[in-house]
Structure 1
Amino acid sequence: MLVTGVPYRHPGLLAKIVATLDVLSGGRAALGIGAGWYEREQRGLGLPVWPAGERLARLEETLQIVAQMFGDDDGPYEGRYYQLAETLCSPKPLGPVPVMVGGGGERKTLRLVATYGDACNLFAQPGHGTEGVAHKLDVLHAHCDDVGRPYEEIRKTILWNGPVPFDGSFTDTLAPYAELGVDEVFVMPMEADVVAFARGLVDHVVEPAAAL
């Protein structure tokens, strides 16, 4: 999963899962997390459905807990929604685990990126140009200035929710995003044959896109 949501796992357990994955993978784990939005899935799994404001507050506490568990402080955590008697995480991750905060909420989510995140993930709408992403990045930049965080420290990523042609035109589509400072693009297979999609990416998209 690119970005998990706070309703799905307790923060302490989530931190343990990611730390274990990092050790097993030789230090290649990353954590993508957001407030969560898909109420149908939450209800279907019997999970609580919290209002948006509470989800965002829980997201902030989760980011704090993960940072504490990955660090040297194994003492308690006392938040409004989560209380941990110990933040012991053994084994620790092999190195810093990048944390990507997904979502484009301008008042809270992007401020959480500026405060806690190593990367943001914004939604790019095919056919709508780059204006939406450009605006979100401007908002993120303002939050960084406000909290005293260098904007350049944050990796900018987008999720492309549309077709990916293999005729070279996709590189032209991505070029304006690269000019905005976007570092990485995530794509989803829109066809049944995901293996062919992955091969098409490798053969026709990855190298010219990286050159941007």
Structure 2
Amino acid sequence: MELGLHLTNYAMNAPADRIGPGLAEVVRTAEDSGFAAIAVGDHLWQSPWLGRVEQNVLEAYSTLSFIAAHTSKVALTAIVSGVHYRHPAMLAKLVTTVDVLSGGRAWLGIGAGTSTGDVEGYGLPFPPLGERFEMLEEALEVCLRMWGETEDPFAGKHFRVNRPLNAPQSVRRPHPPILIGGDGEKRTLPLVARYADVCSLRPGPELPRKIELLHRLCADIGRDPAEIRKTCVFVFDVGQRGEKVDQLLGALKMLADNGIDMVIGRVEGVDEVAPLEVIGREIIPVVAEFG
């Protein structure tokens, strides 16, 4: 099992001119500590489930480019970009840019999307969920067209691309890994089986059944489910002095036993960087042995 770091806030109470230096220290420490990936949320306001909407939030792809400049090994992704935020050709261009500038480390993280109040606040479009799922499948087709070998146009119900020119092309070929967020059984998991290289599932008692269903969906279309890396989001809380290490290890072992390959977690107290160092010393070497 590998661990990834999920960044969801940025020095909540810091002045703006301290956010960049603080973030650079956090991501360098995470990479040095052995984290395999760094993910950022893709919202314009803070999630009300994580704090106050007024707390500091940075735009996802500008932030990933910044992180790329301060790291050299970790994979870089959004968890996940709602399909309603950007035209998919622009999204593919953004991910390609991060991939090129990072030397081939970008993933496309995409999903049907939610709102933190930002879309309503900014007057952005937010179609009904069923329509967003239609948009999601079209967006995946557009992104693959952008990363393809031809420039055949795409015309769908929601998106149109007359010439999917993408220069430079991504370093990772045939395309950056595609992560689809969510584990809905009727719409999301069938898209995962067809398009995804990575999935993001919710931890909990339903996890084994969701993975079993994904395996069946893959079998139905003749795909090896082992081609899809199974991830989930979590909270890494090792305590102020590492007193919760054993508790976290137990939770991660259960996820590994249920088929999870990578856990991407928010780290309590990440701005202090010390918890990252504890995870690097006492958690990552252990979970690397989990089968």
**Same-fold status (TM-score > 0.5):** yes
Q: Could you tell me how far 1:32 is from its partner in structure 2? A: 0.9
| Alignment of 1:45 onto 2:131 | no
Q: Could you tell me how far 1:176 is from its partner in structure 2? A: 2.1
Q: Could you tell me how far 1:134 is from its partner in structure 2? A: 0.9
| Alignment of 1:114 onto 2:193 | yes
Equivalent in the alignment of 1:123: 202
Question: How does 1:1-212 map onto structure 2 within 5 Å?
Answer: 1=40, 2-38=79-115, 40-96=117-173, 97-124=176-203, 130-161=204-235, 163-164=237-238, 166=242, 167-191=245-269, 193-212=271-290
Stretch deviating more after TM superposition (162-171 or 7-16) = 162-171
Q: Could you tell me how far 1:78 is from its partner in structure 2? A: 0.7
Partners in 2 of 1:3 and 1:122 — Cα distance? 12
CA contact (8 A) 2:180 2:192 kept: yes
Gaps of 5+ in 2: 1-39, 41-78
Comparing both chains, which one has the higher relative contact order based on Cα–Cα distances under 8 Å and sequence gaps of 6 or more? 2
Runs of 4+ in 1 over 6 A off after TM superposition: none
Q: Give the 3 Å change call, closer, same or farther, for CA 185–108 of structure 1 in structure 2.
A: same
**Structure number having the greater helix percentage:** 1
Partners in 1 of 2:238 and 2:134 — Cα distance? 36
Q: Could you tell me how far 1:55 is from its partner in structure 2? A: 0.7
Equivalent in the alignment of 2:71: none
Q: Could you tell me how far 1:39 is from its partner in structure 2? A: 5.2
Gaps of 5+ in 1: 125-129
Q: Give the 3 Å change call, closer, same or farther, for CA 77–194 of structure 1 in structure 2.
A: farther
3-state DSSP of counterpart to 1:37? coil
TM-score, normalization by structure 1: 0.91
3-state DSSP of counterpart to 2:184? coil
Q: Could you tell me how far 1:72 is from its partner in structure 2? A: 0.5
3-state DSSP of counterpart to 1:21? helix
Partners in 1 of 2:223 and 2:122 — Cα distance? 38
CA contact (8 A) 2:88 2:142 kept: yes
